[in-house]
Amino acid sequence: MHSIRKVISMTPNFIRAAMIATALCASVPVFAQTVTQPTIIVTGEAEVTAPADMATVTLGVRHDAPTSAEAMDAASMGMQNVLATLEAAAVAPGGIQTGRVNLIPQYGRTMTGQIDYEKIESFTATVQISFESHDLPRLGGLISDLIAAGANTVNGVNFGLSHPDQLTDEARTLAVADARHRAEVYAQAAGQDVGAVLMIIETAGGGYQPMFAMAEARMGGPEMDVPLAPGSISVNASITMHFAIAE
């Protein structure tokens, strides 16, 4: 007795059809129900103000002379007197920094008023420094002394805080409290309770804007102290908080 075997030919068309059927089965989407937790999203803001307790002063010595050496020597000598005055006033050396040293030729003019780059009439030398002062009541008098010592350019006074991070952290803490208060108000109005904090995003804060004041410099010593008004420094903080609604 002979057995008969039936052979199925795996033609390319058959294989292609099987692959398509498998892909269709795999691509059938399975829908799962997503449960979204009810939340309250609010923004908290705060501003903290404190009196300025330090200042950064930028000033310099500028001199014109027929030669570059004479101009730079005069500016350097004037700056030496300025630095000696700062040392006598017990300004910390670590708070003094040279900001700029310039030597610029001053060109003549042609008959038509154009700059004549082939004709140098003189040189202008400038040496500029900045220093920090934590003695604001005496700062106006110190600036006057520096002008008398040789400083003839005063580029400005920036008032600030010795420890701005403390004020920034206080503003952030108050901003969080403000956000929680707003969330509780909204939840109570909706007949709900505030749950756990889900997310905190800082949208602003972490810095402050120092106040800027100008001081006028004249050749020779001033007859009175330079008047200064330090004022107050404000720090702002703003955050966005996500709260769960308690079930």
The DSSP 8-state label assigned to residue 27 in this structure reads T
Domain 33-247 in CATH 3.30.70.2970? The answer is yes
The pLDDT tens digits of the residues spanning 62-88 come to 999 999 999 999 999 999 999 999 999
Domain ranges of the chain: 33-247
Structure tokens at 32: 């799962």
Burial of 171 (0-12, 13-18, 19+ CB in 10 A): buried
Q: For 120-150, what is each residue's pLDDT tens digit?
A: 999 999 999 999 999 999 999 999 999 999 9
75 exposure class (CB count in 10 Å sphere: 0-12, 13-18, 19+):
buried
pLDDT of 221 > 60? The answer is: no
Return the axis-axis angle of helices 139-149 and 68-88, rounded to nearest 10°. 150
Residue 75 · residue 126 · CB < 8 Å:
yes
Q: What gap in Å lies between CA 61 and CA 74, rounded to an integer?
A: 9
pLDDT of residue 34: 54
Nearest residue to 199 (alpha-carbon basis) of 36, 40, 35, 34: 40
pTM > 0.75: yes or no: no
113/83 Cα distance (integer angstroms): 40
